[in-house]
Amino acid sequence: MRMVEIAPLGERLSSLRLCEASALKTVRLSLEQHGQLTALTLFRADGTLEIIDGFKRVRAARALGWVSLLARIDDVDSVDAKLRLRELHDRRGLTELEEAWLVRSLYREDRLTQPEIARRMSRHKSWVWRRLMLVESLDAVVQADVRLGLIAPRAAVAVSRLPRGNQQAASVIVVRRGLTVRQTELLVEEVLDAREPAARAALLARRLDGPTLGKPRGPRPSRMVRSESDWMSADILRVREVAARLEARLLSTPLEAFTSTAAELLRDALCRLSPVLRALDSVIGTVTREKDA
């Protein structure tokens, strides 16, 4: 622990974090009233002290004209610094988008493999893949809107489900009309129900000036106790719907339409999906043959 000058501190990891104006205002008010309560966490990189944790404190202190802050300097490299950033926010939690930015940075900048990222973050490989797909499929303009505080991170996650060509238009609707996260999710579901690109574009154009989407009215259905056959029937229907939707999307949108990284991730996921479907087909064949016999 020691006092460090804040003017020369580097912020190369700030691209992995969100810094909302309201949160920055709260930190500045806390510094004015109570002083510094928590030390910064720094690391050395290329002869410069870089911030791991404390971006808002540093920016608020600079705005107040402060010269120095108390800091702890960790002896870590760039990869460990990013992992340390996640550890320091384990309780408060990073948003899904911040996690995705962190995973992408480890994957693309530090060249770690997905299994290695999963191991070092104590996560399953599927979690790493989902975070990569989130950030690779989300339009850069929408990500910029999140950084500017124009759209909530959870709303951006919902928008990421849309084809890339519809995401900017959806983001404009969310920002201009002040949609909630739930309203954004309803908008996304409505757009996805329109299969043709022209129909999706037309729907988004209407929604920009149309009525606000809301929660469906009416009483909530009472809970029913499902039998095993009910659950199995529901799973069969769900698999059929998902399979049909995936087939339609694969036929209508070639993988080359995505960024090279997103296409690579999708191709790898499809290769891993094939043996699962073959195994399911084998089981279906076995149980149906038993009935015929």
pLDDT confidence of residue 290: 62
Domain end position, chosen among 160, 191, 209 = 209
CATH number at residue 15: 3.90.1530.10
Containing 71, the helix (H) or strand (E) segment is strand 68-74
Measure Cα distances from 179 to 114, 148, 172, 208, 216 in Å: 35, 16, 10, 11, 16
Burial of 75 from C-beta contacts in 10 A (0-12 / 13-18 / 19+): exposed
Query: Can you tell me the distance from the alpha carbon of 90 to that of 99, in angstroms, rounded to the nearest whole number?
Result: 11
Q: Considering the domain boundaries, does residue 32 fall inside one?
A: yes
Structural domain range at position 179: 149-209
In the three-class reduction of DSSP (H, G, I as helix; E, B as strand; rest coil), residue 10 is classed as: strand
Token pair of 282 as six digits:
């084998």
By percentage, how much of the chain surpasses pLDDT 90?
A: 60
Side chain identity, residue 171? S
* 73 pLDDT higher than 50: yes
For 6, which DSSP code? S
Least confident of 4-8, 87-91, 170-174: 87-91
Comparing 274 with 73, the larger pLDDT belongs to 73
Alpha carbon 14 to chain centroid, angstroms: 17
Q: Strand 48-53 vs strand 68-74: parallel, antiparallel, or unpaired?
A: unpaired
* 260 pLDDT higher than 70: yes
Measure Cα distances from 272 to 134, 224, 247, 261, 282 in Å: 19, 35, 16, 17, 17
Q: Work out the pLDDT band at 223, boundaries 50, 70, 90.
A: very low
Q: Considering the domain boundaries, does residue 14 fall inside one?
A: yes
Token pair of 241 as six digits:
């719907």
Q: Considering the domain boundaries, does residue 93 fall inside one?
A: no
Tens digits of residue pLDDT in 84-114: 999 988 767 789 999 999 999 999 999 999 9
Angle in degrees, CA 118, 119, 125, rounded to 5? 30
Query: Can you tell me the distance from the alpha carbon of 101 to that of 131, in angstroms, rounded to the nearest whole number?
Result: 8
Q: Considering the domain boundaries, does residue 204 fall inside one?
A: yes
pLDDT confidence of residue 293: 55
For residues 42-71, average pLDDT: 95
* 115 pLDDT higher than 80: yes
Count of structural domains, the chain: 2
Q: Considering the domain boundaries, does residue 169 fall inside one?
A: yes
Domain end position, chosen among 209, 241, 257 = 209
Q: Considering the domain boundaries, does residue 253 fall inside one?
A: no
Q: Considering the domain boundaries, does residue 135 fall inside one?
A: no
Q: Considering the domain boundaries, does residue 17 fall inside one?
A: yes
